[in-house]
């Protein structure tokens, strides 16, 4: 087993892994006006929000748009118009954006969230890499955790009071991904359990073993 010199990067350092991905994203061509729009997609409970927060920090505080803020009880996936009008079009025009935030307790939109113009902006949520959004994206990141495991995690997190919500959500999510899958278009895959990052062959299921370093083809 070889020794590692003091100056050699630690391939197993999660921070170094995330920094490498952040550098890769910054180097991508802009996709939404001057912005590199990056989607973090996956099943509910797969770790999208946590990973997007970590990636945002690695990018120096990149803005994060949470699709849960744009979805509603009545329209869990009918948020494309709101995303386009309130976020994508202003950013594409080189302006700061601001969108209305849905309150899941009050069951109505209440308050707003700002999205400052930045070199990289993240959009996280189920369906972030859907067909209608992909033309605006520089990169699609997929959280690799199967639907059943992600649901178990979400139910454990939210407790029994939201069991009915999760049952209904699972049906809606399954129908969405059956009609409009994101996973085949992901160029970066993150293990939803370990957080390890690997590239994926766009249009095909990933066959690349997940490693602690950001692998490149």
pTM of the model: 0.84
**pLDDT in the model for residue 159:** 67
What are the pLDDT digits (tens) for 87-127?
Answer: 999 999 999 999 999 998 899 999 999 999 999 999 999 99
- Domain at 14-199, CATH class: alpha beta
- DSSP string over the chain: -----TTS--TT-HHHHHHHHHHHHHTSPPSBTTBEEEEEE-STTSSHHHHHHHHHHHTTS--EEEGGGT--SS-SS--HHHHIIIIIHHHHTT--EEEEEEETTTTEEEEEEEE---SEEEEESTTTT-TTTGGG-SEEEEEE--HHHHHHHHHHHH-GGGHHHHHHHHHHHHHHHHHS--GGG-SEEEETTT--EEE--TTS---SPPBSS----
Q: Where are the domains of the chain?
A: 14-199
* pLDDT higher than 90, residue 3: no
């Amino acid at each position: 087993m070889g020794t590692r010199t003091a100056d050699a990067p630690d391939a197993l350092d999660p921070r170094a892994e995330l920094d490498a991905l952040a550098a890769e994203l910054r180097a991508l061509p802009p996709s939404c006006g001057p912005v590199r729009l990056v989607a973090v997609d996956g099943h509910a409970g797969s770790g999208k929000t946590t990973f997007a927060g970590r990636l945002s920090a690695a990018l120096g505080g990149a803005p994060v748009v949470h699709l849960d803020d744009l979805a509603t009880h009545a329209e869990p996936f009918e948020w494309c118009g709101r995303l386009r009008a309130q976020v994508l079009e202003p950013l594409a025009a080189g302006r700061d954006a601001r969108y209305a935030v849905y309150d899941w307790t009050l069951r109505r939109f209440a308050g707003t969230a700002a999205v400052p113009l930045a070199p990289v902006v993240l959009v996280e949520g189920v369906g972030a890499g859907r067909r209608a959004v992909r033309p605006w994206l520089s990169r699609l990141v997929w959280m690799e955790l199967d639907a059943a495991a992600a649901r178990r995690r979400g139910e454990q997190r939210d407790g029994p009071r939201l069991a009915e919500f999760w049952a209904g959500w699972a049906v809606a999510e399954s129908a969405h991904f059956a009609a409009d899958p994101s996973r085949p278009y992901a160029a970066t895959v993150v293990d939803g359990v370990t957080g390890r990052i690997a590239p994926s062959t766009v249009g095909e299921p990933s066959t690349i073993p997940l490693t602690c370093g950001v692998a490149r083809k």
